[in-house]
A = this chain, B = another copy of it.
Amino acid sequence: MLLGRVVGTLVSTRKEPSLDGLKFLVLKQLDIDCQETGGYRVAADAVGAGLGEIVLYATGSAARQTKVTDRRPCDGVIMAIVDLLEVDGTIKYDKAEAG
């Protein structure tokens, strides 16, 4: 999994019918220090993530292993909202303080 920040939304009315009701969020990819890498990903939201939140997302077939994405043509899913990220003994992100 990689880290991303929720930065936007994508609306589509003409799509594969099985995707009805699925919410697509736009993520900016983050590096291990929670800095933006320049990359992005559009992912289905399985956890009710909000704008600005730092999340963990999974890609590939793993993206279909949630209730909302099961058997849907979806290759990226937000499966967790990050509360705390600690790297090399340093707190890189603390949702309680960031929030």
Chain A residues with CB under 8 Å of chain B are 1-3, 7-16, 18-19, 24, 26, 28, 31-32, 40-43, 46-48, 56, 58-67, 69, 71-77, 79-88, 92
- With A26-B32, A58-B73, A63-B73 known, 11 other A-B pairs at CB within 8 A are A1-B43, A1-B75, A2-B40, A16-B67, A24-B80, A26-B87, A32-B40, A42-B56, A61-B62, A63-B75, A65-B71
Give Cα A85 to B63, complex, Å.
21
26 chain-A/chain-B pairs, Cβ below 8 angstroms: A1-B24, A1-B41, A1-B42, A2-B40, A7-B32, A8-B85, A10-B56, A10-B84, A13-B83, A14-B47, A14-B83, A15-B80, A16-B47, A16-B66, A18-B65, A24-B80, A26-B85, A31-B40, A32-B40, A58-B75, A59-B60, A60-B61, A62-B72, A64-B65, A65-B71, A66-B73
Nearest to A84 among chain B residues (CB) is B11
